[in-house]
Structure 1
Amino acid sequence: MSKTLNPEYIFETSWEVCNMVGGIYTVLSTRAATLQQSHPDKLIFIGPDVWLDKPNPLFEEIPDLYKDWKEFTDAEYGLKIRIGRWDIPGKPIAVLVNFLPLMAQKNEIYGRVWELVGVNSIAAYGDYDESSMFGYSTGMIIESYYRFFKLTSDNQVVAHFNEWMTTFGAFYIQNGVPEIATLFTTHATSIGRSIAGNHKPLYDYLAEYNGDQMSYELNMVSKHSTEKVAAHTVDCFTTVSEITGIECEQLLDKKPDVITPNGFEDDFVPQGKNFAQKRKEARETLRKVTETLLGYELSSDALLISTAGRYEYKNKGIDTFLESLKILSEKELTKEIVAFIMVPGHIKGSRLDLISSLQHPEIKLDSTNRFTTHELYDYYNDNVMSAIHWFHFNNQASQRVKIVFVPSYLNGADGVFNKSYYDLLIGMDLTVFPSYYEPWGYTPLESVAFAVPTITTDLSGFGQWVSHNPQPIKNGVGVIHRSDYNGYLVATQIAEMIFDFAAYDETEIKKVRKRASVIAEKALWKHFIHFYDNAYHIALTNRNKRLSIG
């Protein structure tokens, strides 16, 4: 039996290092503590210095840390980097790079990468340029470290690149420092997300799609090209779920070498009496804002439910959730339902009239807008607002189902709630994430981590991990079968699950919350990190084959 190869140094790069954008931030930031424990200060994250001269709240710069290497990188590679620690559990070393000077050389770099691996950058547009130059700079930084500290092929070094935005770093390493083993993880294929986002049936016709052909049809040629080439050329290619693995095999013509499911750490979940206090505070805040917005008091047993995530109206199932609320409103409900839609939209800022009423309860809100907590730039063309009006919701006291649209990032300083998303999530009774396109799905996982039962679909990686078969909400996680064409049936089943949950007594609710917590415990990184150990082993084994080592 061959010996398991373990890395001595791990470099990992992503656009979301010290840059909270989406789910990849959660993947990396929660996994860091586990890796830092096994590779203390030989785990180095590399991210974009998007804050430049402004202080980054997620990054603590340490001027004396690797000062000589920093000067070497500037002198030999012409890159300005900041070195410090990522302000997350484990406090791993983080390097932030100002990649913008490379923009002047982008055509030369594109030509070089075309000659090396055949990536087609001619059709590039939008964020492709910045992403590619950032990726290329990460390769330069890793090489700089390797040369400065005089590492050799005797050192087991891996460089891990996340998403297509970093692939140019992998190409740089493959050419400049082939002694380093490369890994590439796609958290969602760019072409698969585009097919789904353009309202084309992804799943029923997946076997008929050609990724290259679809990239031309959907104007995704360059992003698809760099992602596909990376998948085929790195030493180990991974993705986060079985469902996305099938997508990769069809659209990228490459089966992942290993599936690396996303775990999390529960150190951000309050414990004991603190949990009960945080939940009480969250519910008080949610009720206060809602009652101020609506202009009347909610019943004491009102059920608080929510959905959240990126504002991808179809892919995240926001459309299906809203339709389920309409179906639910036509049932004989015994409780009021308040549904919070927490997805960042295009806003001017918090509503000043709402803030005024919150601060001075005697000043009643004088507005026809009883739905949004923040001011949208364009109410008329907003998908959520359009659906609210289409389904004739009015948030009157006589309607049993109320909708509160929170179109702001919940970072603790939104002006209305002034609590983080987690500090509000803990107060929910139930969450719903009926995703159509969701390679993993952190939002339902975060929900059960806070003992909040959740409803999701078997088109999400998390939903499939919980159960390959549909299951009821009483299990802690309700899983609904979803396909390309059964949206109304999914909405109906969501409404039925919420209706059933609303009828549970306190004893049954406690049991369901406990079952949700048990599922969350199974997804801790200590149970999932071995998938990454396997990926590192595969990468190092293939590196050794390339170099004819061993």
Structure 2
Amino acid sequence: MKRPNKPTDYVFQVSWEVCNKVGGIYTVLSTQAKVLENIYGDDLIFIGPDLHGEEENPLFLADETILSPIKKLADEEGIPVRFGRWNVPGNPIVALVEYDNLRPQRDEIYKEMWESFGVDSLHSYGDYDDSCLFGWQAGRLAALAYGYYAGKNNQPTAVLQAHEWMSAFALLHVKKHEPRMATVFTTHATTVGRSITTNDKPLYTYFSGYDGDQMAAELNVQSKHSAEKAAALHADCMTTVSELTDRECSQFLGRQSDILLPNGFDPSFSYKGVELQVIRRRARKRLLTICNALNGSNLTEHAMIISTSGRNDFRCKGFDLFINALKRLQDNNGLERDILAVIAVPCWVKQARPDLLERLAKRPAIKVMDATGMPVMEAPFITHELYNYHEERLVRTILDSGLRFGPDEKLHLLLIPTYLDGNDGVVNLPYYDFLTASDYCVYPSYYEPWGYTPLESIAFGIPCLTTSLSGFGQWVSTTIGHQPLISDGVAVLPRNDENYWECVEEIAASIRGMSMMSASDWRAFSDAARKLSDGAKWKDFINNYLRAYTLALKNDN
């Protein structure tokens, strides 16, 4: 018997980021899980890669009693899988599959995909093999599970939703070998669009002149693009996260999305009230102490903390813009308040800095460390040692910018080049705890199909800036109905290929303005931010997924 609003009997969601915290798709799936699980219960199964083997994965709660008949069938079919639950709100069922046993069959799989769907795997390299073999294994498991359910129930309805090109082979496998299942493909960014950006080409000025296949060949991403395009063209329902990315789907993949799936947020992930105040004080104290230890300074709790963060997509995320805005702010002087600007971006980390840890060991337990009189440390802006310090683009840009460091500066910079999981050795705060320390967040993206970081920011009541080139920024503009200002909780900065230095000036001015803000004005902006986030919850957005499943079933028949 179907639950209310449940358009299918079963849903299989396949992603490389299930129980694997890599980027924004992890946030999409882990925060929607509770709402979708409330609708589907144990008829919702997430499928991800088993990358930990015998090592413990804190995100995966193994349970051998879950779907044991399917586990037995999988063993018989040579599909190594572990069932359990995802350690996130909702605790949905998860299947983690290994795929190494498919490597001897790789060429046969690629041949089948070429002959059936025109997927060109000849130009593969890097993570292509792992992603495609995972997708194939995930598709095998989903088809097997559906066959099991079909044996118990006459023709149940089921949808497989594949996220990104890494899961394309799951969709294509099901399309060919279990056509009774409907399929949804969701691209969170296009391979060609991201590649154009990361290769420092102007995406928007010449957008209408770019051919997807031609650019994929020029940028050496033919195979990834080919898999992505095949999944998009053969899915029963094509989806993406924003109008921005939908333009790319039409231009590069040859198919417009049937339904848009904007990303929501689950409020159970955020803190409020006294809990928020306690976590915020602790996080601020930690960041200010680290900065003081590096610079021999004495920033107090009255300093303003601003931050930017995200995956290490330097140009896409606008980190260059942020750093240049800081330099402009520092050069113009006139700051009346100390500012600590934090960049939290995972890099190739070697270890926590031993010299910094030694100095931090001397800090008082209660208040912010006063490091006055201590010498400025070498590289006084970074918390961890890197394997590629001199090659890391973030580091090079900071050094080349001419930013000044030391106790006499009003503006200080802190680069945290590691995942914030609470155990990095220096900051030792989970990301959301770290985020609460900020008074203002800046996300000046150039390429951002959605943009979770600003949504997370306002969910915690932190005013932020994003750009018109982010899907979230466009959603804010549409929701508010006018050019969003910081008084709305989110400022949306118009950005294009021609106004880089104008944006630098605008960001510098916005930071200066926020530093002069009264406490009452900041609270008003914070309240506006939180109110805006109330309209971007998964309970409001999940219906788009249900519409996609309904359409996929209709098109599959």
Bucket of the pairwise TM-score, normalised by the shorter protein: over 0.9
- The DSSP-based 3-state class of the residue aligned with 2:453 is helix
- The DSSP-based 3-state class of the residue aligned with 2:414 is strand
Amino acid at match of 1:194: S
Check the 8 A contact 1:302/1:336 in 2, yes or no: yes
After superposition, give the CA deviation of every residue in 1:417-451 in whole Å (9 maximum; x if it has no partner): 11111111011101111010110000111111111
After superposition, give the CA deviation of every residue in 1:105-150 in whole Å (9 maximum; x if it has no partner): 0100000111111111111111111100000111100111122233
- The DSSP-based 3-state class of the residue aligned with 2:37 is helix
Check the 8 A contact 1:353/1:365 in 2, yes or no: no
Amino acid at match of 1:334: E
Displacement of 1:299 after TM fit? 4.2
Displacement of 1:300 after TM fit? 4.3
Check the 8 A contact 1:321/1:491 in 2, yes or no: yes
After superposition, give the CA deviation of every residue in 1:446-483 in whole Å (9 maximum; x if it has no partner): 11111111111010000110015643222211110111
- Whether 1:314 and 2:315 are equivalent positions in the alignment is yes
- Whether 1:275 and 2:276 are equivalent positions in the alignment is yes
Residue of structure 2 equivalent to 1:119: 119
Amino acid at match of 1:380: H
Check the 8 A contact 2:465/2:492 in 1, yes or no: yes
Residue of structure 1 equivalent to 2:556: 543
Check the 8 A contact 2:476/2:484 in 1, yes or no: no
Change (3 A) 1:275 1:300: closer
Residue of structure 2 equivalent to 1:169: 170
Amino acid at match of 1:332: G
- Whether 1:517 and 2:552 are equivalent positions in the alignment is no
Displacement of 1:488 after TM fit? 1.0
How many Å separate the matches in 2 of 1:340 and 1:244?
Answer: 29
- The DSSP-based 3-state class of the residue aligned with 1:267 is helix
Check the 8 A contact 2:319/2:444 in 1, yes or no: yes
TM-score, normalising length from structure 1? 0.96
Displacement of 1:153 after TM fit? 6.9
Check the 8 A contact 1:103/1:130 in 2, yes or no: no
How many Å separate the matches in 2 of 1:421 and 1:347?
Answer: 17
Residue of structure 1 equivalent to 2:439: 429
Check the 8 A contact 2:5/2:39 in 1, yes or no: no
Which is further off, 18-27 or 372-381?
Answer: 372-381
Displacement of 1:313 after TM fit? 1.1
- The DSSP-based 3-state class of the residue aligned with 2:267 is coil
How many Å separate the matches in 1 of 2:389 and 2:112?
Answer: 46
How many Å separate the matches in 1 of 2:210 and 2:397?
Answer: 31
Which is further off, 403-412 or 325-334?
Answer: 325-334
Amino acid at match of 1:215: A
Superposed CA RMSD in Å reads: 1.6
Residue of structure 1 equivalent to 2:69: 68
- Whether 1:507 and 2:508 are equivalent positions in the alignment is no
Amino acid at match of 1:356: E
Residue of structure 2 equivalent to 1:131: 131
Residue of structure 2 equivalent to 1:399: 409
- The DSSP-based 3-state class of the residue aligned with 2:42 is coil
How many Å separate the matches in 1 of 2:267 and 2:329?
Answer: 33
Check the 8 A contact 2:284/2:437 in 1, yes or no: yes
Change (3 A) 1:499 1:66: same
Check the 8 A contact 2:291/2:381 in 1, yes or no: no
Amino acid at match of 2:527: K
Task: State the aligned residue count.
Answer: 541
After superposition, give the CA deviation of every residue in 1:507-545 in whole Å (9 maximum; x if it has no partner): 10100000110111111001111111111111011012x
Check the 8 A contact 1:448/1:519 in 2, yes or no: yes
Check the 8 A contact 1:435/1:456 in 2, yes or no: yes
Amino acid at match of 2:156: N
Sequence identity percentage: 42
How many Å separate the matches in 2 of 1:268 and 1:388?
Answer: 33
Amino acid at match of 1:426: T
How many Å separate the matches in 2 of 1:387 and 1:97?
Answer: 40
How many Å separate the matches in 2 of 1:271 and 1:510?
Answer: 14
Displacement of 1:91 after TM fit? 0.6
Check the 8 A contact 1:5/1:536 in 2, yes or no: no
Displacement of 1:331 after TM fit? 4.0
How many Å separate the matches in 2 of 1:524 and 1:502?
Answer: 30
- The DSSP-based 3-state class of the residue aligned with 1:184 is strand
Change (3 A) 1:227 1:180: same
- The DSSP-based 3-state class of the residue aligned with 2:150 is coil
Check the 8 A contact 1:324/1:495 in 2, yes or no: yes
After superposition, give the CA deviation of every residue in 1:180-223 in whole Å (9 maximum; x if it has no partner): 00000000001110011111111111110000111111111111
> Runs of 5+ in structure 1 lacking a partner?
545-550
- Whether 1:213 and 2:225 are equivalent positions in the alignment is no
- Whether 1:344 and 2:346 are equivalent positions in the alignment is yes
Displacement of 1:160 after TM fit? 0.5
After superposition, give the CA deviation of every residue in 1:147-192 in whole Å (9 maximum; x if it has no partner): 2233567312111000001111111111111110000000000111
After superposition, give the CA deviation of every residue in 1:3-47 in whole Å (9 maximum; x if it has no partner): 998011001010000111000000001111111111110000000
Residue of structure 2 equivalent to 1:251: 252
How many Å separate the matches in 1 of 2:237 and 2:86?
Answer: 26
How many Å separate the matches in 2 of 1:275 and 1:371?
Answer: 27
- Whether 1:441 and 2:451 are equivalent positions in the alignment is yes
Displacement of 1:378 after TM fit? 2.9
After superposition, give the CA deviation of every residue in 1:273-326 in whole Å (9 maximum; x if it has no partner): 111111111111111111111112014421100110111111110000001111
Residue of structure 2 equivalent to 1:334: 336
How many Å separate the matches in 1 of 2:261 and 2:214?
Answer: 28
Change (3 A) 1:5 1:54: closer
Check the 8 A contact 1:81/1:95 in 2, yes or no: yes
Displacement of 1:366 after TM fit? 6.7
Residue of structure 1 equivalent to 2:291: 290
Residue of structure 1 equivalent to 2:367: none
Check the 8 A contact 2:161/2:184 in 1, yes or no: yes
- Whether 1:416 and 2:426 are equivalent positions in the alignment is yes
How many Å separate the matches in 2 of 1:410 and 1:46?
Answer: 25
> Runs of 5+ in structure 2 lacking a partner?
365-370
Amino acid at match of 1:88: V
Check the 8 A contact 2:259/2:544 in 1, yes or no: yes
- The DSSP-based 3-state class of the residue aligned with 2:523 is helix
How many Å separate the matches in 2 of 1:437 and 1:142?
Answer: 33
Amino acid at match of 1:477: V
How many Å separate the matches in 2 of 1:319 and 1:397?
Answer: 24
Residue of structure 2 equivalent to 1:548: none
- Whether 1:528 and 2:541 are equivalent positions in the alignment is yes
- The DSSP-based 3-state class of the residue aligned with 1:46 is strand
Change (3 A) 1:514 1:74: same
Check the 8 A contact 1:4/1:537 in 2, yes or no: no
After superposition, give the CA deviation of every residue in 1:328-352 in whole Å (9 maximum; x if it has no partner): 1114211111100100111211011
Question: Which of residues 474, 477, 497 is equivalent to 1:464?
Answer: 474
Check the 8 A contact 1:458/1:470 in 2, yes or no: no
How many Å separate the matches in 2 of 1:110 and 1:254?
Answer: 23
How many Å separate the matches in 2 of 1:396 and 1:529?
Answer: 49
How many Å separate the matches in 1 of 2:495 and 2:506?
Answer: 10
How many Å separate the matches in 2 of 1:278 and 1:541?
Answer: 48
Change (3 A) 1:180 1:425: same
Which is further off, 424-433 or 143-152?
Answer: 143-152
How many Å separate the matches in 2 of 1:74 and 1:115?
Answer: 28
How many Å separate the matches in 2 of 1:98 and 1:177?
Answer: 21
Check the 8 A contact 1:440/1:460 in 2, yes or no: yes
How many Å separate the matches in 2 of 1:439 and 1:47?
Answer: 23
